[in-house]
Amino acid sequence: MKPDPGPAFFFYPSPPVFPAPLSPIPDTMHFELILPGLNWPTGPGPHPASRSGLPALGTLLGFASHRWDEQCTLEALLTRRFGMHGPIPHARLRRLGEMDGTDAPGHWLCCDPVHLHFARDKLLLADASGLAITRVEADTLMAGLNETFGDIGQFEAPAPDRWYLRVAEAPVPRFHPIADVNGRPVQLFLPEGDDCPRWARLSNEIEVWLYNHPINEAREANGQRRINGIWLWGAGETDLRTRPPVQRILANAPYPRGLARHAGIASGTAEHFQPSPETTLAVVDTLHRPLLHMTPDAWTAALETLEKDWFAPLLQALKAGQLKHLRITVPGDRHLLELEIGQRGLWKFWRKPQGLDALLATAPSLDSPS
User: Tell me: the pLDDT tens digits for 265-304?
Assistant: 999 999 999 998 899 999 999 999 999 999 999 999 999 9
pTM: 0.86
CATH 3.40.720.10 intervals, the chain: 30-84+242-360
91: enclosing H helix or E strand: helix 90-96
Per-residue pLDDT at 101 = 65
Q: What percent of the chain has pLDDT over 70?
A: 90
Percent of the chain that is helix, strand, coil (3-state, to 5): 35, 20, 45
The residue with greater pLDDT, 60 or 350, is: 60
Q: Tens of pLDDT along 203-227?
A: 999 999 999 999 999 999 999 999 9
With a CB cutoff of 8 Å and minimum separation 6, the contacts of 234 are: 89, 90, 91, 92, 94, 108, 109, 110, 175, 177
User: Facing residues of 117 across strands?
Assistant: 124
Residue 361 has pLDDT above 80, yes or no: yes
Q: pLDDT category, 181, cuts 50, 70, 90?
A: very high
The residue with greater pLDDT, 138 or 237, is: 138
Q: Tens of pLDDT along 118-165?
A: 998 899 999 999 999 999 999 999 999 999 999 999 999 999 999 999
User: Facing residues of 65 across strands?
Assistant: 340
DSSP string, 20-66: PPPPPPPPP-EEEEE-TT--PPP-SS--GGGGS--HHHHHHHHH-EE
Work out the burial of residue 43: count CB atoms within 10 Å of its CB; fewer than 13 is exposed, 13-18 middle, 19 or more buried: exposed
- Measure Cα distances from 99 to 93, 140, 261, 269 in Å: 12, 21, 12, 11
Ranges 14-28, 38-52, 142-156: which has the least confidence: 14-28
CATH class, range 30-84+242-360? alpha beta
